[in-house]
Structure 1
Amino acid sequence: MLIGYARVSTDDQNLDLQRDALQAVGCERIFEDMVSGARADRTGLATLMSMLRAGDTVVIWRLDRLGRSLKNLIELVERLEAAKVGLRSLQENIDTTSSGGKLVFHLFGALAEFERNLIRERTQAGLRAARARGRMGGRPKRLDPAKLALALKLHRERNHTVEEICKMMGISKSTLYNYLDKADSDGGRVA
């Protein structure tokens, strides 16, 4: 059974072009979403995925109508393959029910993985270069060593509540508790 899926990002856009193309190729049912592709909660897509049977083929107008990203698209196709369901994209002329279509899709997957690995390698190299120049990553500390020592001293003396200490230092309770935990684990030393 050919089952169509159509999506537009906003209410201003129109599904007619996609609907017409999906009906023209013989889709018996068409599921639709009017929501950004970046949203994971697409009810039309969820309903479509829940009712698929082995041997069905999902037909889309273009690949970008189905997945939020190449990674997401590949994950969806893997789910379809596991359920023995094909995918056909009209604009890109890809049909995963054929050997050539599967090859093209696997090439997309390999390229996406290669790109992720390159990004990871560049990020790691950039972090190493920054550390070599003395720059450390992460969020800057809220309290300088003098204020931290004062906050720890006020807490140990027990003359002020946690709320009062936080207000004086301009920090949240969780930040104070993180500093207290760190001081406890460091044997009371101020870093």
Structure 2
Amino acid sequence: MRIAYARVSTDKQELYRQLDALKKVGYDKLIQEKFTGTQKKRAGLDSLFNTVRPGDIIIIESISRLGRKTLDILSTVEELKEQGVEIISLKENLDTSTPTGQAMFQMMAVIAQLERDLTVQRVNEGLTSAKARGVKLGRPKMGKQKVKDALRLYDSGQYSVKDIIRITGISQGSLYRKLKERESKMLLFDIKNKLKKDEDQSS
């Protein structure tokens, strides 16, 4: 069975664009929800897991529909594959049933874990150094450095969004916007690298 899954983050957002894209490729069942991707525990995603059976295919408009955090997305994909379910993402042209698609997700997993480990290390070292120099971490920073610090704290997994806002002075809306922009750039970068490697191997 081909199961389509669509998601937006808030009730004010519409699903029309995703639904139009999914309708073009066709599906047997549609699961949709309006809930933030920052939380992995979602009614729609739970329904998806309860619905799928080995051999089924999940179709999504974009890989980001599965979640906002790269590690959460990879975890979801891995759990589904363990159940014998394949995933097709239209925007990224990814299909986990193909060798190329499998390689892409494996590469994303390695990069995400490496980045997480390095970020945690940098954040801890930075906080220790700042405290040693008597820097007040609650003082807002400006510009790119403020955004950079906020993203590092978020990636460390040790701070809540409220803590990050308090420490860096960045707004919640700005933080979520920067996270989405970074994730899109990361996925595009990985895809371009994979396509280039495939071209080099075939030439």
TM-score after normalising by structure 1: 0.65
Alignment partner of 1:27: what SS?
coil
Hey, what's the Cα distance between the residues in 1 that align with 2:11 and 2:132? 51
Give the superposition deviation at 1:25. Answer: 1.0
Letter of the aligned partner of 1:85 in structure 2?
Answer: V
Q: How far 1:23 moved relative to its partner?
A: 2.0
Matches of 1:133 and 1:36, distance apart in 2: 38
Aligned residue pairs: how many? 137
Q: Quick check: 1:8 aligned with 2:29?
A: no
Deviation at 1:82, TM superposition (A): 0.7
Compute the displacement of 1:81 (Å): 1.2
Counterpart in the other structure of 2:188: none
Displacement of 1:11: 2.1
**Which residue is equivalent to 1:89?**
89
- Residue 28 (structure 2) aligns with: 28
Structure 1 stretches of 4+ with a deviation exceeding 6 A read none
Percent identity (aligned): 39
Counterpart for residue 66 of structure 1: 66
**2:40–2:67: 8 Å Cα contact kept in structure 1?**
no
Shift in Å at residue 41 of structure 1? 3.8
Maintained 8 Å contact 2:87/2:97? yes
* Counterpart position of 1:37: 37
Indicate how the Cα distance of structure 1 residues 24 and 114 shifts in structure 2: closer, same or farther if over 3 A, else same: same
Give me the whole-angstrom Cα distance separating, in 2, the residues matched to 1:39 and 1:125: 28
Q: CA deviation at 1:39?
A: 3.4
Deviations 1:107-139 (A, max 9, x none): 11111111111112212322453565588x9xx
User: Which structure is higher in helix share?
Assistant: 2
The 2-side partners of 1:42 and 1:134 are apart by 42
- Residue 104 of structure 2 corresponds to residue 104 of structure 1: yes
* CA deviation vs aligned residue, 1:31-77 (integer Å, no higher than 9, x gap): 00012212344212111111111111111001111113101000001
Check 1:13–1:133 CA distance in 2 against 1; reply closer, same or farther (3 A cut).
Answer: closer
Task: Determine if contact 1:4/1:29 at 8 Å carries over to the other structure.
Answer: yes
Return the index of the structure with the highest Cα Rg.
Answer: 1
Kindly indicate whether the alpha-carbon contact (under 8 Å) linking 1:55 and 1:85 is maintained by their aligned counterparts in 2.
yes
CA distance in 2, matches of 1:117, 1:12: 36
Q: CA RMSD in A?
A: 2.1
Aligned counterpart, 1:117: 117
Structure 1: unaligned runs, 5 residues or longer: 138-191
Q: Contact conserved, 1:19 with 1:30, CA < 8 A, in 2?
A: no
Cα separation, 2, equivalents of 1:47 and 1:93: 24
Aligned AA (2:53): R
| AA matched with 1:120 | V
Match of 2:75 in 1: 75
Contact 1:74–1:109 (8 Å) recurs in 2:
yes
